[in-house]
């Protein structure tokens, strides 16, 4: 009997451990429909399943979409639009009716996991902010009536413009005029209901407006020396992490450290107007592809390293009826004909062969705000540049050819009979060539990229009897 009890305890422990793992970082997609040329909802759900997408967020409760999602095992976030906030806030009966028609009618066959009440309400020109928290409470109360409140969370996506300060991250704070009327009441509601803060985060807009001081590599999750936050001493290697931690810092400043976060929108446009700096297919592919890798493999942020994030990419399709600059109609991963705008993985399986495609070496040489410790654009400390075994043979060979040719690296030691010829592997030879180039360039920013085929290490590498030198 005692053995059986121990076995059951071990089983429960292992299941809880498995559950905590599977509840880690997750990627979802926003399915917007501001277009007149999109495929049917049934085809869209088939497309999502074919890509291994496990979460989707929609901007309404369209019956065709919710029916198509039925039985798909795709978790869904639905939206109560801003124009309904007043009614939902003023009349509990309206909230009951809305939940009955748009949630209870489909759940649980359609796996609705959360309700976004409004969207970026604080910048809504119709001044609906004062109705937000009452509407959230009434919708939650309607969920209680149907006994859905333990399964379906209620929140509201906020834009980064809700912050009064976001740089450096440690100085993150909410706009003072919002704190008492709406921020604190909303955070109290999230705490009481076990929900999370929804945040829309777009490094693209920050880069577009400040490309003279923000490195493109920093914005695209590419290798870079990082930016040190003078307020807390943490080093950031991506603008995304810095922006998210600014929100976490704002929460901490108000004593809401226990509130978790879901990034309900983030993305990068594949096309823009001439004035929209950084909008391109290559940059969009790099941002979203590297973000997927960062979320599925990377854990939390520098401020909250153990907190995995759920992130929804914006968006599934290019939407031809969206107003505004060209970029607004070109955030999609897919064209309306279901062809990919660019090829990136959306699952762990897809990441196995993913490499950020970019021209060899071409790095961004600008210094970022905060510097890297030595003020001259070089990586400080004793470092070496080595090849990534995950880059793929073709990518490594192309980068090796560049380094030993046009790049001017000293590749004599990897010739037959020379000191670093053995081990005679592509990765070892490429590491020697990449490091030679990197050291000759004085460890300059951007000199250890090689199309994502190389990375910096802080301990001297050794391949067989060959040690990679420094050339200070």
Category of 214 on φ-ψ map: left (φ > 0), alpha (ψ -120 to 50) or beta: beta
Q: Which position among 120, 223, 276, 319 bears the catalytic label?
A: 120
Q: Which residues contact 212 (CB under 8 A, 6 or more apart)?
A: 366
In 109-259, at which residue ranges do the beta strands (DSSP E only) sit? Answer: 112-117, 153-155, 157-159, 163-165, 173-174, 196-200, 227-228, 235-236
Q: Are the beta carbons of 199 and 264 closer than 8 angstroms?
A: yes
Q: Which position among 223, 265, 276, 319 bears the catalytic label?
A: 265
Q: Which residues contact 153 (CB under 8 A, 6 or more apart)?
A: 113, 114, 115, 193, 194, 195, 196
Q: Are the beta carbons of 69 and 45 closer than 8 angstroms?
A: yes
User: How many residues would you count in the chain?
Assistant: 472
CA 37 to chain centre: 28
Q: Are the beta carbons of 292 and 345 closer than 8 angstroms?
A: yes
Cβ neighbour number for residue 355 with a 10 Å cutoff = 16
Told to judge if 120 belongs to the known catalytic residues of this protein, a careful annotator would answer: yes
The dihedral through the CA atoms of 119, 120, 123, 128 has a sign that is positive
CA dihedral 416, 419, 424, 425 (to 10 degrees): -130
Return the structure tokens found at 86. Answer: 């007043």
Whole-angstrom Cα distance, residue 137 to residue 189?
A: 8
Q: Is 209 exposed, middle or buried (0-12, 13-18, 19+ CB in 10 A)?
A: exposed
Task: State the alpha helices, DSSP H only, in 238-356.
Answer: 239-253, 281-297, 348-351
Told to judge if 349 belongs to the known catalytic residues of this protein, a careful annotator would answer: no
Half-sphere exposure of 45 (CA within 13 A, CB side): 18
Whole-angstrom Cα distance, residue 408 to residue 392?
A: 23
Whole-angstrom Cα distance, residue 469 to residue 472?
A: 9
Positions marked active-site: 120, 265
């Amino acid at each position: 009997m005692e053995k059986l009890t121990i076995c059951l305890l071990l089983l429960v422990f292992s299941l809880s451990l498995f559950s905590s793992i599977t509840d880690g970082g997750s990627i979802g997609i926003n399915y917007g429909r501001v277009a007149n040329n999109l495929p049917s909802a049934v085809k869209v759900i088939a497309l999502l399943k074919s890509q291994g997408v496990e979460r989707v967020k929609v901007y309404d409760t369209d019956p065709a979409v919710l029916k198509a999602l039925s039985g798909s095992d795709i978790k869904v976030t639905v939206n109560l639009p801003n124009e309904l906030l007043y009614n939902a806030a003023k009349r509990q009966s309206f909230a009951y009716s809305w939940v009955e028609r748009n949630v209870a009618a489909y759940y649980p066959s359609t796996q609705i996991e959360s309700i976004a009440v409004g969207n970026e309400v604080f910048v809504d020109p119709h001044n609906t902010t004062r109705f937000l928290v009452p509407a959230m409470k009434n919708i939650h109360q309607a969920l209680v009536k149907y006994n859905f409140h333990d399964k379906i969370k209620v929140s509201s996506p906020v834009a980064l413009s809700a912050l009064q300060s976001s740089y450096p991250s440690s100085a993150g704070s909410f706009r003072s005029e919002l704190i008492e009327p709406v921020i604190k009441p909303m955070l109290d509601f999230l705490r009481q209901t076990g929900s999370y803060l929804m945040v829309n985060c777009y490094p693209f807009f920050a880069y577009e407006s400040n490309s003279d001081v923000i490195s493109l590599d920093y914005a695209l999750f590419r290798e870079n020396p990082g930016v040190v936050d003078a307020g807390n001493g943490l080093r950031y290697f991506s603008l995304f992490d810095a922006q998210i931690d600014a929100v976490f810092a704002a929460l901490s400043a108000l004593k809401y450290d226990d509130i978790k976060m879901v990034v309900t929108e983030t993305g990068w446009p594949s096309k823009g107007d001439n004035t929209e700096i950084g909008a391109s297919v290559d940059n969009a592919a790099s941002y979203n592809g590297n973000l997927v890798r960062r979320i599925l493999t990377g854990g939390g942020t520098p401020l909250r390293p153990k907190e995995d994030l759920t992130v929804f990419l914006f968006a599934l399709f290019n939407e031809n009826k969206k107003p505004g600059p060209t970029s607004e109609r070109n955030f999609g991963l897919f064209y309306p004909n279901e062809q990919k705008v660019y090829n990136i993985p959306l699952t762990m399986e897809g990441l196995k062969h993913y490499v950020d495609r970019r021209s060899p070496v071409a790095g961004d040489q600008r210094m970022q705000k905060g510097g890297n410790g030595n003020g001259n654009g070089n990586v400080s400390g004793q470092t070496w540049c080595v090849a990534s075994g995950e880059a793929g043979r073709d990518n490594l060979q192309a980068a090796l050819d560049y380094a030993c040719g046009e790049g001017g690296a000293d590749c004599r030691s990897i010739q037959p009979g020379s000191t670093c010829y053995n081990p005679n592997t592509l990765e070892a030879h490429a590491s020697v060539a990449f490091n030679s180039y990197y050291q000759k360039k004085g460890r300059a920013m951007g000199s250890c990229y090689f199309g994502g085929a190389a990375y910096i290490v802080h301990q001297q590498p050794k391949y067989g009897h060959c040690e990679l030198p420094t050339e200070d």
